[in-house]
Amino acid sequence: MCGIFAIFNSSESKEGLRELLIQCSNKIRHRGPDWSGYHFEEGKGGKHGIAHERLAIMDPESGAQPLKSEDESIVVAVNGEVYNFKELYAALATPYKPKTGSDCEVLLPMYQQHGPSVKMGDMLRGMFSYILYDKTKDLFFVCRDHMGITPLYIGWGKDGSTWIASEMKALSAHCVKFQQFPPGHMYCNQGHNKNKFVRWYKPNFVADVTPIGGPLPTTPYNPDILRQAFTTAVTRRMMSDVPWGVLLSGGLDSSLVASIASRHIARKNPEFPKLHSFCVGIPGAPDLDAAQKVADHLGTIHHSYTYTIQEGLDAIKEVIRHVETYDVTTIRASTPMYLMARKIKAMGIKMVLSGEGADEVFGGYLYFHKAPDAREFHEETVDKLSRLYMYDCMRCNKSMSSWGVEPRVPFLDADFLELAMSLDPTNKMIHSGKDVAPADKRIEKWCLRKAFDTPDDPYLPDEILWRQKEQFSDGVGYGWVDALKDAGEADVTDLQMEQAAHRWQYNTPTTKEGYRYRAIYEEVFPGEVAAATVPGGKTIACSTERAMTWDASFANRADASGRSAGVHESAYDAKFAADHKESASPPKKKAKK
């Protein structure tokens, strides 16, 4: 993961622009501590500057950016990874000989062949945000990946300049207007859609492509196809020229990622070093024990990190500065991830695989138990995916990148999403409770669990494969969330809460914990424009108005903890999991020892 930054059509002097570019780019250097690169041009409407802060994952020796074409007329700065770069080179109409081993260099010949078109996003498989400048046309072109896995912001200065940055902190003090760059979109200063956001990512499950209320997916469930598709998504993300590992919470999603990665390493090269896995929590956290069980099963070199509640509380302000949000759930989960990233980087690890996205795709959050029918269930997953870039994608990327560690998220692979979101949603629905016959019971993410339930060659122990969902902020230790609430109670008075709507008319905090975060955020990022980059709405156990109609209690529930959804089993043990599993599964042979 890197940091990209650019200013186009600036009225600054050449010396002034250089100073400004370096000053602003320096604010995101944590994303790319390995090297800094700058490029300057004199355009028709003003001066241009492009900066790149590099985290060297592929080709550390010669892959420095910005990258330039042979005649130096095309310049590109990229944040992210293009996993299918070799296939893209092979598909070029005109053969191209790369000058570096960087996967991102393929964007240069692709632009020469396709221009600033939707193909420049649609053909890529990976996570990416990039800025491209064509000197001969004085054209700049910006593109963000399909789901917003990589963060990106756009802003406009008083002089009419356009600013692009991986993080808001690089441009917020200099722009009169700024916002998150929408995922799956591109932006160009020329052409039919001049200075407009144009969607290039158009799968059937995107709400503004196939409106809510359209036909439901009908693809039948095939566990073998789903398993193979996700295996491909994981192994595709294992390309790296530097040491890497996996985040392992002990939950289903991260455990499957770790299992596939470790199996692939063992079968491809038995002599290859064992996989490193990482978990974090306060002492006694549910995730620590579960992750250790998975690590023991897989044989990873496991690193179990603990932090004290006070260490977490001390980090809150820095977490808000790095993650650039005041959303309660995001901050709760970002803090342990931020602390863990620092320890991972200290070990020399620069890239990790992570399990974000599965709950949005398969309806894994506990409130999905309340979904009344397949349409409601499916449309809620679509809505969750459309918002993911403002929540889990941002939390995962910025928390890890704050210490120069790149997270990769196979559940958000474009090809895997196409398959998983085309499934008939009845296969994803949860069937539980006393009124459900044993033969009809299914727990959350049943179809994903079932796809990896291979008793003759088990991916995971049954107690992990069928473990109930824990939100990350809960799994790192229930005492963590409770301590954050207590800190809010201690810092914020009743009078302050009564006056909260007068202080913040937009997105008024509804709890003292939320008030505390909002006050810190305002101190770091003042102004209404900065506040508006964080999504509005109540912080509740479910994220949308649709889900609030499923259960009347959701509308008045301020706690965003997964425990508040009303279906969490505190005594959810291996036996409970086995009952859910066996009731929905045919008899099978015992796993081989």
Catalytic site residues? 2
Give residues with Cβ within 8 angstroms of 291, minimum separation 6.
248, 249, 250, 255, 277, 279, 302, 304
- Which residues, in sequence order, are CB contacts of 272 under 8 Å at separation 6+? 265, 266
Full strand arrangement of the beta sheet holding 177-180: 35-42, 47-54, 3-10, 162-165, 153-156, 177-180
Give the burial class of 294: count Cβ atoms within 10 A of its Cβ; 0-12 exposed, 13-18 middle, 19 or more buried.
buried
Tokens representing residue 64 in the block: 């420095």
DSSP tag of 217: P
Number of neighbours of residue 331 by Cβ within 10 angstroms: 24
Residue 295, H or E segment: helix 286-298
Q: How many Å apart are CA 283 and CA 298, to the nearest integer?
A: 23
Neighbouring-strand partners of residue 52? 4, 37
Q: Can you say how many angstroms the Cα of residue 376 is from the centroid of all Cα atoms in its chain?
A: 24
Q: Taking the CB of residue 218, how many other CB atoms lie within 10 A of it?
A: 10
Residue 442: beta bridge partners? Answer: 431
| HEC per residue, 21-60 | HHHHHHHHHHHCCCEEEEEEEECCCCEEEEEEEECCCCCC
| Pairing verdict, β 351-353 and 406-408 | parallel
Distances (CA, A) of 290 to 251, 411, 455, 468: 7, 21, 20, 11
Q: 253: closest CA among 365, 328, 149?
A: 365
CB 511 within 8 A of CB 488: yes
Residue whose structure tokens are 């994952």: 57
Yes or no: say if 423 and 221 are a contact pair by the CB < 8 Å rule.
Answer: yes
Of residues 343, 281, 284, the one with CA closest to residue 312: 281
Peptide bond into 66 cis (omega under 30): yes
Residues 6+ apart with CB under 8 A from 552: none
**φ/ψ of residue 77, rounded to 5:** -125, 130
Backbone angles phi, psi at 451, to 5 degrees: -65, -30
Could you tell me which of 536, 534, 530, 359 has the C-alpha nearest to residue 544?
536
Q: Please, what is the end-to-end C-alpha distance for the chain in angstroms?
A: 40
Structure tokens at 528: 């209404």
- Cβ pair 66, 147 in contact under 8 A: no
> Can you name the residues that pair with 8 across neighbouring β-strands?
162
